Amino acid sequence: MQPLLFPYLPNFMTEFVPSFSICILIFNCIVLQGCDGSLLLDSTPAFETEKNARGNLNSVRGFEVVDEIKAEVDRVCGRPVVSCADILAVAALDSVVAERLNHGLEGLSRQCTSIGFNGSSCIDQQLQEPGLNQRDLVALSGGNTIGLSRCLIFRNIIYNATDIDPAFAKQRRATCPRTGGNTNLAPFDPTPAKFDTAYCSNLVKQRGLLTSDQALFNGGSTDKLVKTYSLNPDVFWNDFAKSMIRMGNIKGLFVYC
């Protein structure tokens, strides 16, 4: 299947941090009672899907890449034989490899997990049923090392949080006013187009862009691991690869799209 993917990736790969755009589709599937490719489903008059949720609308990208590849695979095979979820996983792998970010995404996708938690107190509860642990949470959250977030999503932390570096908050307020500018973008770390550990280093400095980010380094049980990742990139890359595979193996409802 992989040779069929390559003609569809080059144009998309010219966008800023395209690997993040594809990979985030995997991260945003439902963790409990989820289904394969749930974020790819279109809304209907009777049902609104995740695609139009507040945090995803006009933010998550790459749907058309999966649609085009799915159509081509179905055409070559003469019938639908590969799920959208598996196409998404392989597309994410190839987009990452194309940027030489070859750490992880080795397994095909099966029911994925959202890693956006509101605080460290609910980490264990959220991960218990999927079979993931705190190390998986921190490693998968490290995927935020590539990509951007909208002002609408991080406005509250830069104006109201007490566990944030004042200089960092001031810097982000420059492009994210209290009102308006909802679609203005800001990176999760200083190197948003590079798969590194700058995200973890930011957390140690209290420069997490989202509440769920800084909760990983806020006097709790995950502090030590965040610090380890910030100082040892090889440990992070190894854990990220393993956690991606475990996340891809989460069981849930099956929907063939």
**Residues that constitute the known binding site for Ca(2+):** 31, 34, 36, 38, 50, 145, 189, 196
Q: How far apart are CA 203 and CA 225, in angstroms?
A: 11
Q: Which amino acid is at 255?
A: V
Query: Which positions ≥6 away from 37 have C-beta within 8 Å?
Result: 29, 66, 83, 84, 85, 88, 109, 255, 257
Reduced to 3 states, what is the DSSP secondary structure of residue 47?
A: strand
Q: φ and ψ at 98, to 5 degrees? A: -60, -25
Query: DSSP E strands: which ranges in the chain?
Result: 148-150, 185-187
The number of beta carbons lying within 10 Å of the beta carbon of residue 219 is 9
Six token digits for residue 188: 């999760």
Q: How far apart are CA 146 and CA 217, in angstroms?
A: 19
Q: φ and ψ at 47, to 5 degrees? A: -150, 125
Which residues are part of a known binding site?
31, 34, 36, 38, 50, 145, 189, 196
Reduced to 3 states, what is the DSSP secondary structure of residue 105?
A: coil
Q: Which long-range contacts (CB under 8 A, 24 or more apart) does 120-127 make?
A: 120/215, 120/216, 120/218, 120/220, 120/221, 120/222, 123/222, 126/31
